[in-house]
Structure 1
Amino acid sequence: MTTYHFIGIKGTGMSALAQILHDTGENVQGSDVDKRFFTQEALEKRNIEIMTFSENNIQEGLTIIAGNAFSDDHEEIQKARELDLPFYRYHDFLGAWLNNYVSIAVTGSHGKTSTTGLLAHVLQYVEPTSYLIGDGSGSGHQDSKYFAFEACEYRRHFLSYEPDYAIMTNIDFDHPDYFTSIDDVFDAFQEMAMKVKKGIIACGDDEELQHIQPKVPVVYYGLSEGNDFQAKSVEETENGTRFDVFVRNTFYDTFEIPTYGTHNVLNALSVIALCHYEDISSEKIKAIKSFKGVKRRFTEKEWKHKQILIDDYAHHPKEIEATIDAARKKYPDKKIVAIFQPHTFTRTKTFLQEFADALELADYVYLCDIFGSAREKSGNLTINDLQAKVHESSILSLDNTDRLADHENSVLIFMGAGDVQKYQEKYENV
């Protein structure tokens, strides 16, 4: 029996894929750096062996799956080539694997992870479902009908997939270290749309997505008139958000979600549209009400000083706006404090003014040093360049997180795609 060896098994996508293969009865092992990541826990629960990188890990009889972060000169990849072992990059293996199921790719510049999690949650109430979520969660069943997975546009990796369906949440300019412009991003999504086999569920409120031209039907969802699936009468409740759904102007049903903010209504609407397309009843779709969320997406806890601490992956101006909007709607009587760590110098430089504008939506702003990528050079950019554009903002260091205790009866949102969690952990341990 084949054993799959994952090079970089602690990566979010890699960890999730390893979990899926294990759950479907395959032998799985992997290697990574000797540092603890949150993705390890699920692997350890399954007793999947995790080794430290070494060419000695690579033996005859293995099938190799390598993470996208590792170049061809990595010692384990070189050894695998020497032994002429079956070798796949993560996205190529996933592209072949999903042909075993009714596959649903969830893609878009923002909202992929939350939407994939929500979709997987609902589908599990209907049929055995395998899923791969970008927060490191994965689950497989040998008799799965559906496979819901997050498909990332970065470096056009999603072009390795030919899914039955695609949910497209939005098209926005991001990853400026790779994409040159919004047109370049659009071209990637247009190319991906051509690979979809049955249908696309796209947000009609997104101007770019209105121009997608695939070979399959497109079902549009959104809040505005003219969408095939439209949410109306949206209201915040004590436990989340309630809204009516109209299908081509005919009332369909009323749904509730346990979250707040327009982006969460749109994410839910995409799942409702996909399920309706698959003839799943509205009663089963109402499982969205019990969705517990995904890791690092508005993950909250109550704290001292009547504070709510929120950990969120927001790392683009639009995501910061959406996260602050959700916090305002859930906690209308509290001040909003943004603690933001920019992710990559290229993104910070490209969106410097947009970041400032988005952060101004908070009542107080703290900025952490930029989390740089190994792939880029910093130039002369520092966090002070962003601070100069955000009124009355402060620099937060690990040595002065105790300042956050001054914000009594407030919501503290720790945002970023780097390691902003360390600031929250330090504050909690002050």
Structure 2
Amino acid sequence: MQITDYKYIYFLGIGGIGMSALARWFGVNGFEVAGYDRTQTPLTDTLHAEGISVHFEDSVDLIPAAFLQNPDQTLVVYTPAIPKNHSEYNYLKDNGFTLQKRSQVLGLIAGGMFTIGVAGTHGKTTTSSMTAHLLRHSGVNCAAFLGGITQNYGTNMLLNAPTAQLSQVPCVVEADEFDRSFLTLFPDIAIVTSTDADHLDIYGSHDSVLESFSAYVSQIKPNGRLFMKKGLTLANKTKAKVEEYSLNEGAYHTQNIRIENACFVFDLVHPQGVINDIILQVPGFHNVENAVAASAVGLALGLSGEQIRAAIETFGGVKRRFEYYLKTDQHVLIDDYAHHPAEVYAFLSSLKALYPNRQVTAIFQPHLYSRTRDFAVEFAESLSLADNVILLDIYPARELPIEGVSSDLIFDKITSDKIQCLKSSLIDVLKNRPLDVVATIGAGDIDSYIESIKKVLEGTSD
């Protein structure tokens, strides 16, 4: 099965951020595209403006006739959120149409391009976004499918310019291990940033996580390349050329790292030499390491040291990754998506390095009951890097409560000054505490409180 087997692409659930990205790619690359979604949104408005037909009523009659009349040439992309009694879904399923999930179709798209797959239990969103920016900033015609909204482009994707030589166009893909969807990819180049235990509600054990990553790297093309963080145990799982990177060791690493004007500045050491005095506007030791991995790919694709330096210096970051909302002499407010203990540790250690003489208050919202249960001790150790911790209740996401599991499991083990409260009480709690550098941390809905927190810091809260 190849993407060129199809002329018509129909989406069930076209308005989601990931699905709309695929729809736009197909539209730009000469396919006929249409779709259904339950509600109209700015994303569906964008699709409409680009000539893609979208309707909001579950009716087979609203599917364009050309799609219905050519089932062999029509690919249906659907989201699992579509209910099983959906009339369009059932008609298409029962009448000879090919139905694929988003991850499968992303694999098909990537399979027709020069694929750069960026995987890891953390770091993959920023690293894939950096990699895509390096290429785009350097004038390379490329595409990208990312897991977050880039500050540089205001979107989770980059569209390539149409070309008859699509197989030569680099496509940067954030390779998500969550539901093993990265196993639809067969990369030419891969990055693996980390293989820590995570998503144990899906995998069951760390060994299963490692098995999945082993399967992923085994799918790198035999003449391909794997850029792997030093210390990971994947080198014997692939036929690709393996090169290691890290902050301080490996074929690709940094030296002379320092902080200047709240930016991380470093020299990048690589097998062919050194790129001096790279300025990274997005703070964090972990982001410097992500930049090393992205730069390794850029160098492999022929970018010069000057192109690497210029692109990294203009990288604006990703929404909810070390994102500043307030930065004054009196107060700093930063939001970060960290939801694994290693991510929390990396974020807070970098924050303390940036502001060594100021008091850091971490407001943390645990994400998932199972993750809280599995990593309570580790979360407490990471959060204890902050001077003060405000711990919220667990954001359940896709889970039902687990008996005996609450944020108490973390709270009891935190060694910093600490307080526990419900989200509904957070703003009142903040009004009665001295605040300096404040960080909101978590993958739930903690970011919905940022504007209210900002008002407290600015003294404009009701």
Flag whether TM exceeds 0.5 (same fold).
yes
User: Could you tell me which residue of structure 2 aligns to residue 6 of structure 1?
Assistant: 11
Tell me whether 340-349 or 137-146 shows the greater mean CA deviation: 137-146
Distance in 1 between residues matched to 2:407 and 2:121, nearest whole Å: 24
* Residues 300 and 223 of structure 1, relative CA distance in 2, 3 Å threshold: closer
Larger mean Cα displacement after TM superposition, 141-150 or 182-191: 141-150
Unaligned runs of 5+ in 2: 1-5, 68-73, 150-155, 456-460
Letter of the 2:58 partner, please give it: S
Of the candidates 300, 320, 324, which is equivalent to residue 277 of structure 1? 300
Is the deviation greater in 382-391 or in 315-324?
382-391
**Match for residue 354 of structure 1?**
378
In structure 2, give the amino acid aligned to 1:420: I
Q: Which one-letter code corresponds to 1:131 in the other structure?
A: A
Matched residue SS, 2:237:
coil
1:195 to 215, 219, 224: 219
CA deviation string 1:20-43 (max 9, x = no partner) = 33343444444445497x967865
Rounded Cα–Cα distance in structure 1 between residues aligned with 2:405 and 2:273: 53
Task: Tell me if structure 2 keeps the 8 A contact 1:12–1:135.
Answer: no
CA contact (8 A) 1:120 1:131 kept: yes
Q: Identity rate of aligned residues, in percent?
A: 29
Shift of 1:75: 5.5
1:140 and 2:159 correspond: yes
Q: Choose 271-280 or 56-65, whichever is displaced more.
A: 56-65
Question: Which residue number corresponds to residue 279 of structure 2?
Answer: 256
Query: What is the alpha-carbon distance in structure 2 between the residues aligned to residue 187 and residue 427 of structure 1?
Result: 42
How far apart are the structure 2 equivalents of 1:63 and 1:384? 48
> Separation in 2 of the partners of 1:334 and 1:20?
46
Confirm or deny: 8 A CA contact 2:246 2:253 kept in the other structure. Answer: yes
8 Å CA contact 1:398–1:426 kept in 2: the answer is no
Partner-residue secondary structure (3-state), 1:13: helix
Contact 1:312 1:414 in 2 (8 A): yes
CA offset digits 1:201-233 (Å, max 9, x no partner): 1111xx3346553101011111344x1112111
Counterparts of 1:1-400 in structure 2, within 5 Å, are 2-32=7-37, 34=39, 46=50, 51-52=55-56, 54=58, 56=60, 61=67, 63-68=75-80, 76-124=88-136, 125-135=138-148, 137-141=156-160, 142-143=162-163, 145-197=169-221, 198-204=224-230, 207-209=231-233, 211-225=235-249, 227-248=250-271, 250-286=273-309, 287-302=311-326, 306-391=330-415, 392-400=418-426
Deviation for aligned residue 1:358: 1.1
**How many pairs were matched up?**
426
Stretches of structure 1 lacking an aligned partner (at least 5 in a row): none
Q: In the alignment, which residue of structure 2 is the partner of 1:419? A: 445
Distance 2:408 2:53 in 1: 43
Q: Which amino acid aligns with 2:265?
A: R
Shift of residue 265, structure 1, vs aligned partner:
1.3
Q: Once the two structures are superposed, what CA deviation does each residue of 1:223-256 show, in whole Å capped at 9, x if it has no partner?
A: 344x111211111111511212222495454422
TM value normalised by structure 2: 0.83
Shift of 1:117: 0.8
1:269-302 CA-to-partner distances (Å, cap 9, x unmatched) read 1111112222221111111110011111111111
383 and 375 in structure 1: CA distance in 2 versus 1, 3 angstrom threshold: closer
Report the 3-state secondary structure (helix = DSSP H, G, I; strand = E; otherwise coil) of the residue aligned with 1:178. helix
Q: 1:3, CA displacement in angstroms?
A: 4.7
Q: Identify the range of structure 1 (209-218 vs 335-344) with the bigger mean alpha-carbon deviation.
A: 209-218
| SS at 1:366 equivalent | strand
Aligned mates of 1:13, 1:348 — CA distance in 2:
27
**Amino acid of the residue matched to residue 199 of structure 1?**
R
Q: Provide Cα deviations, 1:67-98, integer angstroms capped at 9, x if missing partner.
A: 35557666553333133323211111111111
Distance of 1:325 and 1:13 partners within structure 2: 32
1:122 alignment partner AA? L
Distance 1:55 1:345, change over 3 A: farther
What SS does the corresponding residue of 1:77 show, helix, strand or coil? helix
Displacement of 1:409 in angstroms is: 5.4
Instruction: Give, in whole Å, the separation in 2 of the partners of 1:69 and 1:338.
Output: 34
Range moving further from structure 2, 13-22 or 337-346 = 13-22
Whether the 8 Å CA contact 1:114–1:294 is kept in 2: the answer is: yes
Alpha-carbon shift at residue 47 of structure 1 (Å): 6.9
Q: Does the 8 Å CA contact 1:130/1:147 hold for their aligned counterparts?
A: yes
| 3-state secondary structure, aligned to 1:103 | strand
Question: 1: CA distance between counterparts of 2:412 and 2:142?
Answer: 49
- Which residue of structure 1 aligns with residue 153 of structure 2? none
* Aligned-partner Cα distance in 1 for 2:52–2:431: 41
Distance 1:222 1:399, change over 3 A: closer
